Amino acid sequence: MATRQGGERLQKIIAAAGVTSRRKAEELIREGRVTVNGRTVTELGAKADPEGDAIRVDGRRIRAEGAKRVYLLLNKPRLVMSTVDDPQGRTKVTDLVPAHRHLFPVGRLDYNTEGLILLTNDGAFANAVASAGRRLPKVYHVKVRATPDAPTLARLRDGIRLDGEKLAPCKVEPLKEAANSWYEVTLVQGRNRQIRSMFDAVGHPVQKLRRVRIGFLTDKGLPVGRYRSLTQAEVERILREG
């Protein structure tokens, strides 16, 4: 399909309609899962008219005006997928918020990790969180096998090298020393399975992992498996800090 001269970029339209984040929308376009007026679009520069064109993602037409914006903070249990679909039929984070439709998670927590994750239908909000970095650090409590010695902890704090990439420095503070000790880890980058990979690399595999804070948002008063809506002030603060 030829790129329109007018209109808006497709990934922006898809994100504004609450389908997914702009970054994920770009992936959907590249994968050939987006059509405009019946034609598959794979060019990221493609534009469309959200009012006049029939834009579909995986065969479903998106709503030009978008839905009411929803912002949830969920304390994800273990053995729950942080995706909107799962071929194996496992429980997903969206299954835990049945009163809210068409939401998507902002970032991911792996299947065996519990803790805080944001869900929304606002692509701009998701982009702000994803790009915030040091302005919205993620804090985790992690139980590892045995107890790393001081030089090992220093290596982790400095940012170890994984798969040829040097990770950003992070905070690693002891919480409870035992046969298998607990630590509080603060990250400012979002590499997939980063904490598990870090501790695996230094010989102390993770036994338990939970995310307890996203920026200024904490799990205080939010039991595992429960969720709450963000306040307007919290949403505005995240958009400012992102």
23-76 pLDDT per residue, tens: 888 999 999 999 998 899 999 889 988 777 889 999 888 865 555 789 999 999
Is residue 49 part of the annotated active site? The answer reads no
Where residue 4 falls among pLDDT bands split at 50, 70, 90? very low
8-61 sits in which CATH class? alpha beta
Tell the residue number behind the tokens 């009012």, with chain if given: 51
Considering only residues 168 and 65, tell me which one the structure prediction assigns the higher pLDDT. 168
Asked whether 120 and 130 are in contact (CB, 8 A), the reply is no
Residue 125: CB atoms within 10 Å? 22
Let me know if the fold of 8-61 is the same as that of 137-214.
no
Topology of domain 137-214, per CATH? Answer: Alpha-Beta Plaits (3.30.70)
Q: Which of 188, 80, 184 is nearest to 140 (CA)?
A: 184
* pTM of structure: 0.75
Position 222 scores a pLDDT of 97
CATH number for the domain whose boundaries are 71-132+217-241: 3.30.70.580
Catalytic member of 110, 158, 163, 200: 110
164, two tokens: 């040829």
